[in-house]
Amino acid sequence: MSRILVTGGTGYIGSHTTVELMQQGYDVTIVDNLSNSSVDVLDGIESIVGRRPDFANIDCNNYVDLDGVFEQFADIVGAIHFAASKAVNESVEKPLLYYRNNLGSLITLLEVMREHQVHNLVFSSSCTVYGQPDAAHLPVDETAPIQKALSPYGNTKQINEEIIRDEAYADKHLNATILRYFNPIGAHPSALIGELPNGVPQNLLPYVTQTAAGIRKELKVFGNDYNTPDGSCIRDYIYVVDLAKAHVKAIDRMLNAKKRDQVEVFNLGTGHGISVLELINEFQNATGKKVPYSIVGRREGDIEQVWAEPRKANEVLGWKAETPIAEVLASAWKWEKHIRKIN
Ligand code: NAD
Ligand code: WQD
C-alpha cells in the first residue's frame, strides 16, 4: 500500500479527500495545526472508512516537525498540500499572515520532500487565478490568461504556482499537479464530515444553510444588475466529494502514468455555471426549506461570471463531476442539520 501525506487533512476538502484516498486503499498521514479545523474530524473519517488516518498536529512551516513526519513514515510516496489560510477578506486585512502561512508552508513542504526524495505533489489552487475571464474564455480552460489577483489570498495561489514551476525546473525529479478548484460545496452523504463554519459565513452555501436553519435572518444577494440572464453572479459549484475523487485520480496518475508533463494543471468544475438566484431556488426545491433573501448592492471585488471547461480533467485524469446539484444541496442541508442538532 502507498502512503500519501495530506497537509490540511482535517480541513474541509482535505477530510473528504482523505476518505476517498483511504477507500481506494491508500494509507494517509494527515498533518494539520488545527488552526481552522477540529481533531474530531478524525473520528468522522474513521466512522466512514473503518480505519483511522495517522495524524500529526504540526505546523507545515516548521521544517523540523515536518521532517520528523517524513522520518516516521518512510513509505510516503506523495503529498497533497491543502494547508493554507483561505479567507479572502481576512487576507486583505492581514496580508503578511497570508503570505507567511501560504508561501512558507509550501516552501517548507517542498524542501522536506526534496530531502526525503518524495517526488509527487498535488497542490490546491483556485479558479481565482483567472479573475474575470473575457467572453472568449468562457467557459474557462487551463490556457486562459492568469490575471492580477484581487486579494493577497489570490496572490498566494499565483505565487505558489510559480514556486512549484520554478522548483520543478530546478529538480527534474519533482512531479506536480496543480488543481484549480471552482466553488466547492456540500458535505459527505453520511453527514459525518463537512465544512465547519467559522463565524459569519462569507461563502454563499453556508450562508444559505444557516439561513434555512434560522441562524441568519435572511440571505443578502449581492447584486441583481449584472450582465447575466437573471442579473445575479454565476459560478461553477462543484461537489466536494467529486472534487475529492479528482485528487485520488491525480495521485493515481502521478504514480502510474507512463508519460506525463512534469507540471500538469487541471480545472476542476462541473462545466455548468449557475446563478445565485438559481442556487437558492434549487436549494429550496431540493430540501423543501425556505430561504428568505433580499437583494442588496454588489459585493466589492466580485467576479460577474465564471465557470469551468473541465474537458482536460475529464479526458486526461478520467474524472468527471457527476453528482446532481439537488443531491449536493441536500447533502449540505443534512450536514447543517447534523451540526445544529435539528431535524
Ligand atoms: P480549510 O480551512 O477547511 O482547510 C485547511 C486546513 O489547513 C485547516 O484544517 C487548517 O487548520 C490547516 N492549516 C492551515 N495552515 C496550516 C499550517 N501552516 N500547517 C498545518 N495546517 C494548516 O480549507 P479548505 O476549504 O479545505 O481548503 C483547502 C485548500 O483548498 C486551501 O489551500 C484552499 O486555499 C484551497 N481552495 C479552497 C477553496 C474553497 O472554496 N474552499 C477553493 C479553492 C481553493
Ligand atoms: C459566490 C456567489 C457572491 C455570499 C470565493 C473566493 C475564491 C474561492 C471560493 C478559494 C457570489 C454571492 C455570497 C452571500 C451572495 N476560494 N453571495 N451572498 O466569491 O466565487 O469565491 O470562494 O480559493 O477565491 O473568492 O464564492 O461563495 O463567496 O460567492 O450573494 O452572502 O454568491 O456575490 O456571486 P466566490 P462565494
pLDDT in tens, 200-209: 999 999 999 9
Element housing 42 (H / E): helix 41-49
Q: Which residues are catalytic?
A: 153
Same domain? 180 vs 304: no
Give the CATH number of the domain where residue 321 resides: 3.90.25.10
Nearest ligand, CA of residue 66?
Answer: 1
Domain endpoint, select from 253, 268, 283 = 268
User: Within 10 A of 117 (CB to CB), how many other CB atoms are there?
Assistant: 8
Kindly give the number of the ligand 1 atom that is closest to the alpha carbon of 59.
Answer: 19
Residue 77 resides in a domain: yes
Write down the number of H helices and E strands in the chain: 11, 13
Ligand nearest to the CA of 58: 1
**What separation in Å is there between the alpha carbon of 146 and the centre of ligand 2?**
19
Range of the domain at 333: 204-235+271-340
- Ligand 1 in reach of 305 Cβ (< 6 A): no
The low-confidence residues of the chain, meaning pLDDT below 70, are: none
- Domain tally for the chain? 2
User: pLDDT tens digits for 37-91?
Assistant: 999 999 999 999 999 999 999 999 999 999 999 999 999 999 999 999 999 999 9
Residues 66 and 119 in one domain: yes
The region, left, alpha or beta by phi > 0 then psi within -120 to 50, assigned to residue 216 is beta
For cell 516516521, what's the residue? 72
d(CA 147, ligand 1 centre) in Å: 22
Distance (Å, rounded) from C-alpha 191 to C-alpha 273? 26
Q: What tens digit of pLDDT does each residue of 288-300 get?
A: 999 999 999 999 9
Write the burial class of residue 224 (CB in 10 Å: 0-12 exposed, 13-18 middle, 19+ buried). middle
pTM exceeds 0.85: yes
Atom from ligand 1 closest to the CA of residue 196: 3
